[in-house]
Amino acid sequence: MPGTCVVGLQWGDEAKGKIVDLLTEAHDAVVRYQGGANAGHTVVTGGQTYKLSLIPSGILRPGVQCVITGGVVLNPPSILAEIDGLLARGIKVGRNLIISDRAHVIFPWHLEEDRLIESQTSGGEAIGTTQRGIGPCYGDKVRRNCAIRLGDMYRGGFCDTVERIAKEKNLLLAAMTGQKFVPLDGAEIHARYAKFAERLKPHVADTTTYLLDALEAGKRVLFEGAQGALLDIDHGTFPYVTSSNSSGVGISSGSGVPGKYLKKIIGVVKAYGTRVGGGPFPTEQDNALGQHLRDRGNEYGTVTRRPRRCGWFDAVAARYAARLSGVDTLAVMLLDVLDESPEIKICTAYEIDGQRETIFPSQVDSLRRAKPVYETLPGWRQDTSTVRHMAELPAAARRYLQRLSELLGSPVEIVSVGPDREQTMFAADLTSAAMSV
Ligand code: IMP
């Protein structure tokens, strides 16, 4: 009954999609359990490039069941566009994609609220959201009386609920904009969303029961985290976070699968650090070095194309994220991006108000005042993109990986040195098939 989980340990964009894609062939089902169309990944397979946002990349492999659970927030036009894009390229998208009837639905008012809240942030830094309506939709879920779940779209009363909520949201938007807005037309929104619901109907299921049955029957299930642990709503750098539990603790709540089935947690890190949007990032290099990392790592958002902030590896933050997520093993991605660096720094502690700290602070103000304390390691100044075995990596690169492993408290068992599948190394006895048991 093995469940394998892939979780990002930084601020998202750790190239988890590549690891998920590699592990998919050894699994029967791939599960997306939190977040929404704020995430995105690019998968290159058979010479074709696919950009996916909500649908697990397992959809590209015949025989793999893709599951979107109730912890996800779903924007119907955007998932339908993803489905249509895949169908147009000859990829089968039928019952091999099931979506929870418990998933909350993003409506036009969520998009509008997200845009307005971000543009009106005064006296503070904007969160820098992806403007996909994620926060407002999760907010309504917690508020309960103005939320609509996918299953509700097939019940009597759907039309009345949409019209009631649209009226309430018009009052809210009027107050937020000083009346300068185009009022939402509940009847029109209902008509449009009823059509989306009809198209999504063949995919709707009770995914919690599906997953529990599958795991009890010994099926191999891969859980794919979106964003990264430091963006977790409860445990991340609040308020500069996303609105779901994006660390390992969110796997059970998002999917309905209890911890006893989660057998292997793979923590994914980049060999350096990146962050998109607002919020403190102690090791940020807002300079030529940061630009060098951005250029070599192509650090521009998959969803929004925003340039990512780049910096050195923050082992204080990543160790916290690894412990929180219950990580068993590490995958270090984009190692080749550091190939030209004469020396490489790792942040091993913070100095906060003159005190040395190795514990990640719970308050964002403290993190903002944190000055990184670096350990400097020699670079390897060699092309690693063609290396295929860990033992053949330059000695300085192996030393760097060893240090990351010591600092994070887990072995590095996967190393990636480029976007292609072949540019991935597994520790001695680990093959992608072995990862699933
Ligand atoms: P939201 O998830 O759109 O509400 O955005 C909240 C914060 O999370 C912002 O700083 C975003 O840049 C960040 N964020 C959301 N999704 C991703 C992602 O997939 N990768 C990296 N950052 C993300």
CA of 285 to the centre of ligand 1 (A): 20
Peptide bond into 419 cis (omega under 30): no
Q: Is 39 in the pocket of ligand 1 (CB under 6 A)?
A: yes
DSSP class per residue in 139-181: HHHHH-TT--BGGGGGSTTHHHHHHHHHHHHHHHHHHHHTT-S
Ligand 1 touching residue 237 (CB < 6 A): no
Q: How many CA atoms lie within 13 A of 252 on its CB side?
A: 9
Whether residue 104 contacts residue 137, with contact meaning beta carbons closer than 8 Å, is answered with yes
User: What is the CA(38)–ligand 1 centre distance, in A?
Assistant: 6
Asked whether 96 and 59 are in contact (CB, 8 A), the reply is yes
C-alpha of 413 from chain center: 21
Amino acid at 263: K
13 in active site: yes
Q: Which pLDDT belongs to residue 432?
A: 44
Residues forming beta bridges with residue 222, ordered by sequence position: 4, 30
CA of 241 to the centre of ligand 1 (A): 7
pTM over 0.85: yes
Name the residue at shortest CA distance from atom 8 of ligand 1. 242
| Residue (of 209, 251, 208) closest to 226 by Cα position | 251
Burial level of 313, CB count in 10 A (0-12/13-18/19+)?
A: buried
Residue tagged active-site, from 27, 41, 104, 110: 41
Query: Which helix H or strand E contains 205, and what residues bound it?
Result: strand 204-205
Q: How far is CA 254 from the centre of its chain?
A: 13
DSSP 98-137: EEETTSEEP-HHHHHHHHHHHHH--SS------SSSHHHH
Residue 151 CA to residue 133 CA, distance in Å, equals 19
Q: Is 128 in the pocket of ligand 1 (CB under 6 A)?
A: yes
Please confirm whether the linkage preceding 280 is cis (ω < 30° from 0): no
Q: Is 193 helix (H, G, I), strand (E, B) or coil?
A: helix
Atom 16 of ligand 1: nearest residue by CA position: 38
d(CA 111, CA 297): 30
CB 344 within 8 A of CB 310: no
Q: At what angle do helices 158-177 and 108-120 cross, to 10 degrees?
A: 20
DSSP string, 65-94: EEEE-TTBEE-HHHHHHHHHHHHHTT---S
User: ∠ CA 281-307-229 to the nearest 5 degrees?
Assistant: 45
Query: Mean pLDDT per segment of 10 residues, for the chain of length 437 residues?
Result: 91 94 94 94 82 92 96 98 96 97 98 91 78 97 97 97 98 90 95 98 98 97 97 98 98 97 97 96 98 96 88 98 97 98 98 98 97 98 96 97 98 95 80 43
Task: State the distance from the centre of ligand 1 to the C-alpha of 131, rounded, in angstroms.
Answer: 9
Whether 104 sits among the annotated catalytic residues: the reply is: no
Mark out the alpha helices in 25-75 (DSSP H runs). none
DSSP state of 97: E
Q: Among the atoms of ligand 1, which is closest to the Cα of residue 35? A: 2
The pLDDT, as a whole number, for residue 436 is: 41
Take atom 19 of ligand 1 and give the residue whose Cα is closest: 39
Query: Does the beta carbon of 324 sit less than 6 angstroms from any atom of ligand 1?
Result: no
| pLDDT at 428 (0 to 100) | 61
